[in-house]
Amino acid sequence: MTEGLSRRLLAVLRVPPEPHLPAGEPGTARVFRAGANFWNLRLLGWGARQAATLVGFVWLMVMLHMVPDTIPMGRRGRQRAIPLAMPIALVRALETAAWGVWLVQLPITFAILRLDYELRWYIVTDRAARLREGIVNLREMTFTLANVQDIRIRQGPLQRLLGLADVELRTAGGSETPSEKAGHSSSARNLHLARFRGVDNAEAIRDLVSERMKRARGAGLGDPEDALPPGGGPLPSDLAAAARELAVESNRLRAAVARDLD
């Protein structure tokens, strides 16, 4: 049932089951996934939220049933009953609707949680890396390894207990914000920061990215502007030819404008 529901959710949300490989040789692609304990941690949080919602429903229904149907008013024996509580039929209808919503959302939220875990992709080739996470809000980030400036491993107390960690890659142009220095996540606001979240082989990822980063830099595989020779050296032959053609066309255009002005 859950597998069929997962397929339908992917179709509705239009989420591809796997991302395309980033730039680089396909044979060099390494795929990393979140660790098994990352799923256990997320499942524990989901179960806690469902239990809290259930307790809230039960408490609300008990409170509604404890409200008296009427409240006596008046003095010296002149008592009259004033209706106070909602009709029993309305209370029962609200109870049924609340239980129905809670039961229906159970398999849906569980399927979304499972898909969010299964469809986390961290792909590294010899030239670039692509990170994808999220189901309802799909987030995908691609960057060249030659532009990586800093690699860090972050591990909180609970992650250390579960054998998990986050690998952070910061590319050129990124700066650490105060919230990041305090250990809070702000990658949604920083386009120069990428995270391999909840992995159980952080050291292997760090070493692989570091090695391929150095190779990519040595081969000049960064952004196009990074491929220019240092100090403004000679351009490649194809670029030089294009520059000459552009200069000729510019001179022709300047001469035509001068004739028109005369």
Q: What is the pLDDT of residues 80-114, one digit of tens each?
A: 554 545 566 777 787 888 888 899 999 889 988 99
Q: Which pLDDT score is estimated for 73?
A: 53
Q: Which pLDDT score is estimated for 8?
A: 74
Specify the pTM: 0.66
Q: Which pLDDT score is estimated for 176?
A: 56
Q: Which pLDDT score is estimated for 57?
A: 83
Computed over its alpha carbons, how large is the radius of gyration of the chain?
31
Q: Which pLDDT score is estimated for 4?
A: 67
Q: Which pLDDT score is estimated for 23?
A: 85
Return the structure tokens found at 57.
Answer: 């429903």
**How far, in Å, CA of 150 to CA of 177, rounded?**
15
Low-confidence ranges of the chain (pLDDT < 70): 1-7, 10, 13, 17, 67-88, 173-190, 219-244, 257-258, 260-262
Q: Which pLDDT score is estimated for 72?
A: 55
Q: Which pLDDT score is estimated for 236?
A: 53
Neighbour tally for 54: CB within 10 Å: 12
**How far, in Å, CA of 96 to CA of 99, rounded?**
5
Contact 142, 22 (CB under 8 A): yes
Q: Which pLDDT score is estimated for 47?
A: 95
